[in-house]
Amino acid sequence: MKNKRPGNRKPRWKLLHQYYSYTGFYTFVGKSLVKAAIPILLFIVALLCIHFFVIDINDVLIYITDNFPPLGVFSVFFASESILGLIPPEIFIAWSGKSAHPNLFLFLLATLSYCGGIISYFLGRGIASIPSVFVYLEVKMAKHIKNMRKWGGFLIVVGALLPVPFAVSSIAAGIIKFPFGSYLLFGLLRFLRFFLYGIAIFGVL
């Protein structure tokens, strides 16, 4: 049997594309975007209703900026980003736009979100070392852990860039002991997301 010539081999990007197509990665990203879009749209509609019928959102943001120390706001955001991303980052991005130093505050938010993801990663590593908790979460997060094992870094990229919980991706990465150096590298895209969201939100408010 003759060996195939190297020139007949498909490029690596085509092989990756085939793999992600066969394993349902693109379908997963599409469904995740749809699922994430619904609460975001509801949030935007609620925000607009409040803005036009109850109170000016800009006044609320200015009030928070004037009456709450930045350290307190940053602390709440950091806690949220470290524990499943409970509060939408867009609220804090809008708040930073009304601060005295919007670009600096936006950068600090991105940094805190990135660091919160690292904490989530090590929470996952810690969970993996506690058998009873690991078994419980392995059932609860079975689909996400399975996807992390299949797609690894690309799932972290999705969590960093798109409106899906970054903390959940980070915990799953920790549970499967995804290489920490690679996690840090892929997670840097979190800064890009905050930069793009900042441009969009600063332009509206």
The string of pLDDT tens digits covering residues 170-201 is 988 888 889 999 999 999 999 999 998 888 87
Among the listed residues 202, 151, 201, the one whose alpha carbon sits nearest the alpha carbon of residue 178 = 151
Residue 188 lies in a domain: yes
Residue 2 lies in a domain: no
Residue 141 lies in a domain: yes
CA distances (Å), origin 66, targets 57, 61, 95, 150, 160: 14, 9, 11, 47, 31
Residue 13 lies in a domain: no
- The mean pLDDT value for 199-205 works out to 69
Residue 14 lies in a domain: no
Residue 11 lies in a domain: no
pLDDT of the residue at 117: 94
Residue 28 lies in a domain: yes
pTM (whole model) above 0.85: no
pLDDT tens digits along 76-112 = 999 989 987 778 888 898 889 888 889 999 999 999 9
